Amino acid sequence: MGHLLVKAKQTPIEPGITFVNGLTRGSSQLEYIEFKVLDMKPNAKYREQLGKQECCIVVLTGKVNVSDHDTTFQNIGTRESVFEKTPTDSVYISNDRSFEVEAVTPARVAFCYSISERSLPTRLIKAADNGVEKRGILNNQRLVHNILPDSDTSANSLLVVEVYTEGGNWSSYPPHKHDQDNIPSESMLEETYYHELNPKQGFVFQRVYTDDRSLDETMSVEHADVVIVPRGYHPVGVPDGYASYYLNVMAGPKRLWKFSNDPDHEWILERQ
Ligand SMILES: O=C(O)C[C@@H](O)[C@H](O)C(=O)CO
């Protein structure tokens, strides 16, 4: 197993709460992003005091109440499986705040963190606020739900997006990278991928590589695994018969998603 692949764990951490997968800045080579996914049984409560990190709470499945102790958003979340392919509700919570998530139904919740110093208002990002985009042609088709895109100024550094790729298709493809602070042509953003598969026994392949191949890892990724993209190109290939979902978190010094395609494969975009 390469050091960019974090396998799903399923570790009970509190009554009614199971840690599914995640990473901290201490446990990964990332400087900006932390991430975790928790499974929650009904009535379970997860509380956290944020330090100098902002957090986007994405209700992957089920229904929850989220409170920042000033405002409570009740019964949020829209789906029982991510593969319903409808957007979901999320909540943005600023650095230095605390929050509580209480499960109303069995729920799977993603917590996307990035370092942040400037306080911002808590915000409910409703499912209807997600920008829904179909990208690509031929075997490069994917469906994108933009939860926190760079056009939305609710966050200091976090970018959050979910992506669906049908079997036999490729996404994050042609391979692109965002590891140079060279705006307007490219921004420097770390990235994480939290993957789900339908059916669950499926797998996808993800390669993370740089032009000079000083980094070049190709991973077999299974349900609930996380892939870390500290730099480099990061395409995903989905085998026939399986559908892929992933939740991307991106963060870096500037909150802008500007990428460069691998020049060797950019011709993919020129096809009709
Ligand atoms: O369009 C896609 O296939 C999704 C990717 O852009 C993905 O969100 C990503 O790699 C962002 O850098």
Phi, psi angle pair for 83, to nearest 5°: -80, 5
Q: Which of 207, 248, 249, 260 gets mutated to test ligand 1 (max ligand atoms within 8 A of its CB)?
A: 248
* Secondary structure of 197-212 as H, E, C letters: EECCCCEEEEEEECCC
Measured CA to CA, the distance from residue 26 to residue 33 in angstroms comes to 10
Pocket probe mutation, ligand 1, options 133, 170, 172, max atoms within 8 Å of Cβ: 172
**Mean pLDDT over the full length of the chain:** 97
pLDDT at 216 over 50: yes
Which mutation among 132, 142, 161 tests ligand 1's pocket best, with the greatest number of atoms within 8 A of CB? 161
Give the confidence band of 257 by pLDDT, cuts at 50, 70, 90. Answer: very high
Sequence letter at residue 18: T
Atom 10 of ligand 1: nearest residue by CA position: 172
Whole-number pLDDT of residue 47: 98
What average pLDDT does range 39-62 have in this prediction? 98
Residues 6+ apart with CB under 8 A from 108: 20, 37, 38, 39, 40, 60, 61, 62
* Predicted ipTM beyond 0.90: yes
Long-range contacts of 200-204 (CB under 8 A, 24+ apart): 202/239, 202/241, 202/242, 202/243, 202/244, 203/239, 203/242, 204/165, 204/236, 204/237, 204/238, 204/239, 204/242, 204/244
pLDDT at position 2? 52
Q: 169 CA distance to ligand 1 centroid (A)?
A: 13
Asked whether 244 lines ligand 1 (CB < 6 A), one says no
Q: What is the pLDDT of residue 272?
A: 86
For CA atoms 198, 150, 23, 4, the dihedral sign is positive
Domains of the chain: 5-270 (2.60.120.10)
- CA 269/CA 136 separation, integer angstroms: 8
Distance 15 CA to ligand 1 centre (A): 36
Query: What band does 1 get if pLDDT is binned at 50, 70 and 90?
Result: very low
CA of 172, closest atom in ligand 1: 3
Q: Which DSSP category does 89 fall into?
A: -
The 3-state DSSP class for residue 27 equals: coil
- What pLDDT digit, counting tens, does each position of 102-128 carry? 999 999 999 999 999 999 999 999 999
Is the C-beta atom of 248 inside 6 A of ligand 1? yes
Instruction: Tell whether ligand 1 has an atom less than 6 A from the beta carbon of residue 161.
Output: yes
Rounded-to-integer distance, Cα 113 and Cα 60, Å: 16
The runs of H, that is alpha helices, within 165-263 are none
Q: How large is the C-alpha radius of gyration of the chain?
A: 18
Integer Cα distance of 93 and 122 in angstroms? 5
CA distances from 17 to 91, 98, 173, 225 (A): 19, 18, 35, 18
242-256 pLDDT tens trace: 999 999 999 999 999
Regarding the beta carbon of 134 and ligand 1, being less than 6 Å apart is answered no
Q: Which residue type sits at 71?
A: T
The mean per-residue pLDDT over the stretch 141-168 comes to 98
Residue 53 has pLDDT above 80, yes or no: yes
Distance, in Å, from the CA atom of 223 to the CA atom of 111, rounded to the nearest integer, reads: 18
Kindly give the number of the ligand 1 atom that is closest to the alpha carbon of 165: 3
Q: Is the CB of 165 under 6 A from ligand 1?
A: no
On whether the CB atoms of residues 144 and 163 are closer than 8 A, the answer is yes
